[in-house]
Amino acid sequence: MFTGIITDVGHIVSLEKRGDLRARIATGYDMATVDLGASIASDGVCLTVVGKGDGWYDVDVSAETVSKTNLNDWVDGKRVNLERALKVGDELGGHIVSGHVDGVATIVAMQDDGDSTRVTLDAPPALAKFIAPKGSVALNGTSLTVNDVDGTEFGINFIPHTKTVTTWGDAAIGDKVNLEIDTLARYVARLQDWS
């Protein structure tokens, strides 16, 4: 489990296509405190540390994960939002995030609004029904509040701090973004299916 509060911005050091995709990610985390088998959300995708060294870790990414996320767009040097798994007693500053990406949204508009940036994204139709105004979503692992919803499109704001401490300062129209809907919304919808 994660909170959607990004604690490091790493970058892709190398990619290797094997049976799965192997990625090496550079990080500022003290890797001596990270166990093999630990989970690190990498652009919002919960990935298992399978190798590590001073300032880097390796992950294997299955074909299923690649097909449901934007990780197929990873290239050497790409900056990546990182978050270590939540520990009992940690502050829950965002919302509960599983790191199980539901699909990919696309940035369709961006507009400066004071020092902030308003961003409109288009969600896959099957996921749009789970997104509500003032609800939460995780986008590339970042916990964000939804401003408004219009059909499959929804809007969020990035304050200057978020753009500085995450990869969101690099965002552009057309970018594909990992989308995880709020867990509560998923279960409410499932309960309605049974009634």
Determine if the pTM surpasses 0.85.
Answer: yes
Instruction: Identify the DSSP state of 72.
Output: G
d(CA 25, CA 43): 11
d(CA 121, CA 109): 7
* Residue 161 CB contacts under 8 Å (≥ 6 apart), including other chains: none
151 conformational bin, left if phi > 0, alpha if psi -120 to 50, beta if neither? left
Return mean pLDDT, the chain. Answer: 93
Binning pLDDT at 50, 70 and 90, where does residue 186 land?
A: confident
pLDDT, tens digit (0-9, with 9 covering 90-100), for 86-134: 877 777 777 888 899 999 999 999 999 999 999 999 999 999 999 999 9
**Which strands form 136-139's sheet, in the order they lie side by side?**
142-145, 136-139, 176-181, 103-113, 116-122, 153-158, 148-150
Residue 166: what residue type?
A: T
Domains in the chain: ranges and CATH: 8-84 (2.40.30.20), 103-194 (2.40.30.20)
Nearest to residue 176, comparing CAs of 98, 112, 122?
122
d(CA 165, CA 35): 25
3-state secondary structure of 26: strand
d(CA 25, CA 5): 19
- Residue 124's pLDDT is 97
Q: Quick count: other Cβ atoms within 10 Å of Cβ 116?
A: 15
